Amino acid sequence: MALIGVAGFLHETNTFAPEPTPMARFVEADAWPGLLRGAEIAPATRGMNLAISGFIEAAERDGHCLAPLLWCSANPSGPVQREAYEQVAGELEAMLSRQPALDALFLDLHGAMVAQHLQDGEGELLRRLRRVRPGLPIVAALDFHANLSPAMLEHSDALVAYRSYPHVDMAETGRRAGAMLRRLLQGHRPHAALRRAPFIIPMAWQSTLAEPAAGLTAAALALQDEQVWEVQFIPGFPLADIHDSGPSVLVYAASAAAAERAADTLYTQVLRARDAFRGTLYSPAEAVSRALQRQSHMLVAAPAGSRAGEPVCGGPNAVEHMNAGNAATPPSHAGHTVILADTQDNPGGGGSGDTTDLLHELLRRGARKVCAGVVCDPGFAAAAHAAGAGAVLAHPLGAGSGIGAAPLPGPYTVMALGDGRLVGSGPFYQGCRMDLGPMARVRVQGLDIVVSSRKQQAADQAMFRHVGAQPADYDTLVLKSSVHFRADFAALADEILVVAAPGLNTADLHTLHYRNLRPDMEIL
C-alpha cells in the first residue's frame, strides 16, 4: 500500500484566441467541476469521464491511500494569464512540499497549456514539482491533443494520453495511468521512446472514428505486449503556436530496445498516413443548401396532430420550464438528421460559442425543423428568464464576441427555461454534473436555439433535453462542436457536414500565421 498524491491542472490553449484566460475561469464550474482542493476532489469527480476519476478508482481498488491536493480546469481559450498560472503552480508546489511521506504523484494534465510567459505550461509545472520532490515517481494523464515536449518527458516517469477523439476514454486513461504507477511502485522503471512528426494536423481530421486516426490507434494497441506497456499516437493541438506543437508517438517498455522498435514501427505508419489527414469544409451557404436538398428527398413521418415545420417535441405553444433534472430519454428513431458541425465556433477549441453566421443563413433560406446550440449569450439568457416561458422576446442574440455576422434579431418565442444544472448522459460527458448558468430554448421562424450563460461545446444531448428539445425530433441540428458531438449525436445522423463559419477554432490552418513552430514543420 502506497500514499499517492493526486492533483490536476488542465487547459487547452488556443494561442490565436485574443482573450487571455484568467483565474476566474479555473474557479468556476462548467461541464466539469470548478476549482477543488483536498477532500473535495474525490466526491466531486466520482463517476465522471475524467482521468482523475479513473485514477482514483484504480488506486482505491489497489488499496492505496490518497492525498488529494488540488484539481482545476478551464474551457479552451487564450493563453493562461501569468497570475493564474503562478497561483495554481505555486499552490501545488506548496502542497507537495507539505507531503513528505508521499510515495508517488499522479497528475491530471492536458499537455497543450500555454501561459502568457511560458510556451510549455506542463513541462514547466513538472520541472517545478520534480524540484520539490526529486526522485518521487510522477505519472501524468494527458489529452489526445497534447503537444509533447522533451521537458515533459524529462520531468515525469510516465505520460499516458487518451486514445480516442471523441474522448470517451478519459476515465479509462486514468486507470491506465494507475497501471503504469503500479509498475513503478513495484520497481519496474519504464524506458521511453519519443518520435515527433514534422507536420500539424487540423482538429477536424483527428477523429478516431475515421481514418487515418482510427487505424493508427489500432496499430498502436497491436504493438503492446508484456514487454511493451504503452504505445501511443498523440496528434497534438495545432492551435497552439509553440515550438513543440505537433503529433507524437510515445512508447513505454521494459527495455530501451523494445521501446525504440515499437516507436519506429508506429512512427513509420504515421508518416505514411500524412496525406490522409484531410476532409471537406463547407461554407454556411453550401452546408445549408446541401441540408435542405437532402431533406427534400427524405420522407419523415410526423406524429398525428403535428404541423409541418415544427419539431414533434412541441408545437408553437408547447412552452415549459425545466429544472435541474434532465428531460426524458429521447425516442429510439434515428438516422434521418443532417448535422452541421459549426466547427470554428467550437468552445472546445477556444471558440467563443456565440457566432451567428450559420443561423443567419438558415433563416435566410427558410429552413424548418432545425435546432441549433449551444449559443453562449448570458445577457440573452437573463432576458429570456425575465420574460418567462411563453413570452415573445425582441432581444438580439449572439455575436457578443464581435466575430462574424451581427446578432440574430428576433422576435423570439421563449419555449423553455432551465437553470443550466444537468448531468451529462453521453459517452464524452458521462456523469459530468454541468453548471452552464441560466439556459433557454427560443424559437424564431422554424429555428429552435438553445442558449446558455457559460460557453460549452454541444457534445451531449442532455444539454438540449434540459430545455425540452429532443435532438432526434429535428431534421437538422447545428452543433457548436468539432468532433466530440459524434459520441452522442452521430447515431442520429443521415449526414454530417463540417462547416467553416467564422470563429476562433480555425479549421484551415493555412489561414493562420505561425511564428513559433519548429523549422521543419508542415501545415496540413
Residues 400 and 270 in one domain: no
* Residue labelled with grid coordinates 479552451: 76
C-beta of residue 416 within 8 angstroms of C-beta of residue 389: yes
pLDDT tens for 247-281 read 999 999 999 999 999 999 999 999 999 999 999 99
Alpha-carbon gap, residue 102 to 65, rounded angstroms: 10
Residues 228 and 304 in one domain: no
C-beta of residue 223 within 8 angstroms of C-beta of residue 230: no
Residues 346 and 460 in one domain: yes
CATH number at residue 213: 3.40.50.10350
Alpha-carbon gap, residue 98 to 106, rounded angstroms: 16
Residues 317 and 449 in one domain: yes
Alpha-carbon gap, residue 455 to 517, rounded angstroms: 29
Whether 256 maps to a domain, the answer reads yes
**Series of mean pLDDT values for 10-residue runs along the chain (524 residues):** 97 97 97 97 97 97 97 97 98 97 98 98 98 97 98 98 98 98 96 98 97 98 98 98 98 98 98 96 97 75 38 32 34 72 97 98 96 98 98 97 96 98 97 97 97 98 98 97 97 96 97 97 97
C-alpha distances out from residue 262 to 122, 183, 215, 227, Å: 25, 19, 16, 11
Number of independent structural domains in the chain: 2
pLDDT of residue 298: 64
Alpha-carbon gap, residue 416 to 321, rounded angstroms: 5
Task: Select from 448, 475, 478 the least CA-distant residue to 334.
Answer: 475
Residues 192 and 73 in one domain: yes
Alpha-carbon gap, residue 465 to 463, rounded angstroms: 6
pLDDT of residue 431: 95
C-alpha distances out from residue 168 to 49, 162, 297, Å: 7, 8, 34
Residues 205 and 331 in one domain: no
CB atoms within 10 A of CB 519: 6
The grid coordinates of residue 444 equal 424564431
Residues 364 and 454 in one domain: yes
pTM, to two decimals: 0.92
pLDDT of residue 307: 33
Whether 524 maps to a domain, the answer reads no
C-beta of residue 324 within 8 angstroms of C-beta of residue 421: yes
C-alpha distances out from residue 372 to 1, 229, 424, Å: 51, 43, 18
Alpha-carbon gap, residue 400 to 76, rounded angstroms: 18
Task: Select from 98, 96, 45, 97 the least CA-distant residue to 73.
Answer: 45
Residues 418 and 489 in one domain: yes
C-beta of residue 371 within 8 angstroms of C-beta of residue 358: no
Residues 253 and 291 in one domain: no
Whether 511 maps to a domain, the answer reads no
Whether 416 maps to a domain, the answer reads yes
Whether 505 maps to a domain, the answer reads no
C-alpha distances out from residue 513 to 241, 243, 356, Å: 9, 14, 25
Q: Beta strand pairing status for 412-418 and 392-393?
A: antiparallel
pLDDT of residue 333: 42
* Residue labelled with grid coordinates 461545446: 457
Alpha-carbon gap, residue 506 to 344, rounded angstroms: 5
Whether 481 maps to a domain, the answer reads yes
> Which domain range does residue 474 map to?
284-499
Query: Which residue, of 239, 254, 276, is where some domain finishes?
Result: 276
Angle at 56 between CA 53 and CA 57, to 5 degrees: 85
Conformational region of residue 209, where left means phi above 0, alpha means psi within -120 to 50, and beta covers everything else: alpha
Alpha-carbon gap, residue 447 to 474, rounded angstroms: 10
Residues 369 and 290 in one domain: yes
Residues 92 and 215 in one domain: yes
Residues 308 and 272 in one domain: no
CB atoms within 10 A of CB 233: 28
pLDDT of residue 297: 74
Angle at 344 between CA 372 and CA 125, to 5 degrees: 120
pLDDT tens for 100-132 read 999 999 999 999 999 999 999 999 999 999 999
